[in-house]
Structure 1
Amino acid sequence: MIIGFIFILFDKIFLEKNIIKNTEINNSICTGLYISIFYFTSISLGSLFFLSIQNVSKSGWSVIIHPIMEKIASFIPYGCFMIFIILLLNAMNFIHIFHWMDYYLYDDTYGKYDKIIVNKKFFLNIPFFLMRSIIYTLGCSFFYLKIKKISSILNKTHSLNDYKKLYFISVIFIIFFSIISIFMAWDWIMSLNPHWISTLFGWYVLSSYIVTGISTITIISIYLNKKGFFPLFRNSHLHDLSKYLFSSSLLWTYIWFSQFLLYWYGNIPEEIIYFLKREEMYNSIHLWMLIPNFIIPFFGLINSKNKYDPKIVFTISLILLIGHYIDIYNLIAPDIYNNGLKFGISEIGSFLLIGSFFSYILFINFNKNKKELNHYTGNPFFKESKKYKYPHI
């Protein structure tokens, strides 16, 4: 965390020496922070969403991994709150990441009057925008805390009624998140460039949540098992996690390709500007990131034997996390400045700073409830999960 502060401070001093406007310095630093906060928040959201899917599907194999998923989701209140602070700073005119908030775009007496943004004022106006963001922040935090509380009670009572409550709240969260995740993607990312539209964008970002969430669950499970803190986690559980990792990366690729193909075929200016801009700024990064996000996971996990090899799965999970950071960077950075945002010291410092805070929150939660990792006995499927064995291993 300290190293992250040093990197950001060094970048600010460097920019000031190069006589860059103070507003641009703040924008550069806040953009790096925004990308990192959104990235780590998406990991937590993906983990909670995956946990809810397991609860609703009444999946037996995954019960022993539920505590891992809950702990990863513990960053949600902090991440969403930090995102909201950045949005608030933008609304108060301290920074200018979301350009549609600039007042002169709505005044036709100025030379920068933007008719397209004005036509979207019903949806993109600061009070309504902040109100929606509050709903995202409070809603996701509420469901995380509620699921965590019911799980804790269930672990003590072993009551079927409490399990039904957990099932019900998970169903409601899946419905809630499936809807708000679309609006969240529109507001927190797509509105950075109000001239661009995509009907698939919300699902694209949701698939990224799932991939990063499962990747982090896998990495932490393998690490804790290797250190001896998670003996119930065996190759059979790893094999099933790997199948989810494989299928979720395919889902992300499918949506990526669907969006790309429709844009290429339609050739509509307000759509293809998304890819043309990134091709010019970052040398077709949207194509290169298929290597860590699709090609490596596909060929690495298509063999069933590889799915229960901890070293291979750990490496591929780590590659996927790196690949999806590149993806989120690619979604956000090009739309902040006309000439793009170059990856540098500020972005590295922001990643280290927020990553350290994310790790600290997880460490505190793991340290508080060490016993839960191997004694999640309240769930009626615990014994099934404990004895679970994949037939071909």
Structure 2
Amino acid sequence: MSPSSTVPVRDLTKTGIPTLADIGDRLQGGAWTFVILGGLLLALGLVLQAERGWANLLLTAFNLACVGLGGLFLLAIQSITGARWSDPILKAHRAMPALLPVAGVLMLLLAYGAAVLYPWARPGADLDPVLHGRLAWLNTPFFFGRVILIFAAWIWAGRRLARQGRGAAAFILIFALTFCLANFDWLMSLEPIWSSTIFAIYGFSGMFLQGIAIVTISAIVLRRVGLIPAVSKAQNHDLGKLLFAFSSFWAYIFLSQFLLIWYANLPEETGPLRLLLQAPWVPLFYLNLLLNFGLPFVLLLQRKAKTSETVLLATCAILLVGRWLDLYLQIMPPVLRGAAPAFGLPELGGILLQLGAGHLACWPVFMKDVNPSQELPQAD
């Protein structure tokens, strides 16, 4: 072949077909915009509406931590069971733990607003008879010391699992203990008198469902940009079945907790439900059920729907909105102390920060060992 008949690699960009590097540059720029804008809106919320600002920072930190843990838990389960169906989408699992350091930093920032969120962190808490006997565990230095230890354990065990493929059983053991503790510490102690023995399982059901939704979206998007081309309808169907099953599992745990609290009618257990069943919050209470169970159940009921990328993407988007709302309903009512729900600058800032930080943390992992000059595949 003569030299004139060859086409240099750099000339591929003249074809008008974007490369992975082009896509990555554009997405990185947009992600930084989201992070900066989200951070500014959250900071403005902290100044203007301290309760909502700090509550949304807690929601953002906890949600990002759950995304990272969801990817690791899925990876650990597949490692222990020797599952092979998920081999083409392991890249998506291994990227999600990169969010844990980001979530840890955001969680530690709550030290400056702990007194706004947590009754036990306020001056004079030792005089409150409700908190008597609880302050040995619920105090600011010990609380944030546990935050550091929990994230250190997650990051250490998670990196060992994601990078070396080792320690799946150890991770599940560490996860089971620390995730229960995190739910009790970070969320339940917003209303210290409240208790629920099933609360950690409820938190796990939402976290796991969210992890499956993120992995499903990542697998479909990465297939379309050519990073994991081996994803097929078989993998889509398996992910659709997981979404369907664990959406139903979330609803089962939700109903179990609700019925136990309703039937026993104990004052120390009914606090959050009393707030949610008041007039301003009732529509969101039912919307939570619709987003996390009702719509996914209907959309994924047919076998064909579980192989459709369009249906899967729509269902995952609904579930991620539902997960955000679920955490919102766990955090906001006790923080706002009965005030009506609101959506404004702090909420928008938290959402933008989650989207931007999620991309900035995960995209470099997706691009690892990939030729950035690779062109996008043509549509099927």
Unaligned 5+ segments in structure 1 are: 16-21, 108-113, 152-165, 372-393
Q: Do residues 262 (structure 1) and 260 (structure 2) align?
A: yes
The two structures, once aligned, show a CA RMSD in angstroms of: 2.1
Deviation (angstroms), 1:30 = 2.4
Partner of 1:185: 183
The answer on 1:330 being equivalent to 2:329 is yes
Alpha-carbon separation, structure 2, partners of 1:143 and 1:45? 11
Contact 2:52 2:336 in 1 (8 A): no
Name the structure 2 match of 1:343.
Answer: 343
1:64 correspondence with 2:88? yes
Amino acid at match of 2:151: T
Which aligned segments of 4 or more residues in structure 1 are displaced greater than 4 angstroms?
Answer: 3-13
Alpha-carbon contact 1:4-1:351 (below 8 Å) kept: no
Q: Is 1:276–2:254 an aligned residue pair?
A: no
Gaps of 5+ in 2: 1-31, 372-380
Shift of 1:2: 3.4
* Residue 9 to residue 236, structure 1, CA distance change in 2 (3 Å): closer
1:226-305 alignment, distance < 5 Å:
226-280=224-278, 281-305=280-304
1:382 maps to none
Correspondence for 1:79: 103
What TM-score do you get using the length of structure 2 for normalisation?
Answer: 0.83
- Within 5 Å, give how 1:208-223 maps onto structure 2: 208-223=206-221
Native 8 Å contact 1:278 1:284 kept in 2: no
Q: Deviations over 1:126-163 (max 9, x none)?
A: 33322322221100011111113314xxxxxxxxxxxx
C-alpha separation in 1, matches of 2:43 and 2:146: 32
Q: Taking structure 1 as the reference length, what is the TM-score of the superposition?
A: 0.81
**Does structure 2 conserve the Cα–Cα contact (< 8 Å) formed by 1:275 and 1:286?**
no
In structure 2, the residue matched to 1:18 is: none
1:9–1:126: structure 2 CA closer, same or farther, 3 Å change rule? closer
Alpha-carbon distance in structure 2 between the residues aligned to 1:273 and 1:176: 30
Q: How much does 1:24 deviate?
A: 6.5
Q: How far apart, in 2, do the equivalents of 1:243 and 1:305 lie? A: 11
Asked if the contact 2:85–2:235 (Cα under 8 Å) also holds between the matched residues in 1, the reply is yes
Structure 1 letter corresponding to 2:352: L
Q: In structure 1, which of residues 96, 118, 122 is the aligned counterpart of residue 136 of structure 2? A: 122
1:367 aligns with 2:364: no
- Contact (CA 8 Å) 1:68, 1:221: kept in 2 or not? yes
Report SS of the residue matched to 1:121. coil
Picking from 159, 162, 177, the partner of 1:145 is 159
Q: Indicate conservation of the 8 Å contact 1:40/1:355, yes or no.
A: no
Task: Select the residue among 91, 115, 120 that pairs with 1:100.
Answer: 120
In structure 1, what is the Cα distance between the partners aligned to 2:191 and 2:37?
31
SS of the residue aligned with 1:289? helix
CA distance in 1, matches of 2:283, 2:269: 16
Identity among equivalent pairs (%): 27
Q: Which AA in structure 2 matches 1:89?
A: Y
CA distance in structure 2 between the aligned counterparts of 1:142 and 1:4, rounded to whole angstroms: 26
Q: CA deviation at 1:354?
A: 2.9
Q: Which moved more, 1:67-76 or 1:254-263?
A: 67-76
Distance 1:314 1:6, change over 3 A: closer
Contact 2:76 2:171 in 1 (8 A): yes
Alpha-carbon displacement from aligned partner over 1:247-287 (angstroms, at most 9, x marks no partner):
11111111100000111111112212211112224125223
CA deviation after TM superposition for structure 1 residue 4, in Å: 5.8
Cα deviation, residue 10, structure 1: 6.1
- 1:39 Cα deviation (Å)? 1.3
* Corresponding residue of 1:53: 77
Q: One-letter code of the match for 1:53?
A: I
> What is the identity, as a one-letter code, of the residue corresponding to 1:322?
V
Which residue pairs with 2:173 in the alignment?
175
Counterpart of 2:102, as a letter, is: Y
**Secondary structure, counterpart of 2:124 in structure 1:** helix
Cα separation, partners in 2 of 1:53 and 1:12, compared to 1, 3 Å: closer
Q: 1:96 to 1:24 in 2, by over 3 A?
A: farther
Native 8 Å contact 2:210 2:323 kept in 1:
yes
Q: Distance in 2 between matches of 1:172 and 1:134?
A: 19
The alpha-carbon deviation at position 72 of structure 1 amounts to 1.5
The DSSP-based 3-state class of the residue aligned with 2:277 is helix
For residue 336 of structure 2, give the secondary structure of its aligned residue in structure 1: coil
> Aligned partners of 1:77, 1:4: CA distance in 2, in Å?
15
C-alpha distance in 2 between matches for 1:97 and 1:279: 22
8 Å contact 1:46–1:209 — kept in the other structure? yes
Q: CA deviation at 1:64?
A: 1.9
Residue type at the aligned position of 1:352: L
The one-character-per-residue Cα deviations of 1:266-319 (angstroms, maximum 9, x if unpaired) are: 111221221111222412522321111001111211211211111111110111
Q: How far is 1:368 from its partner?
A: 2.7
Equivalent residue letter for 1:31: A
Distance in 2 (alpha carbons) for counterparts of 1:139 and 1:11: 28
- Give the whole-Å Cα distance in 2 for the aligned partners of 1:229 and 1:145: 22
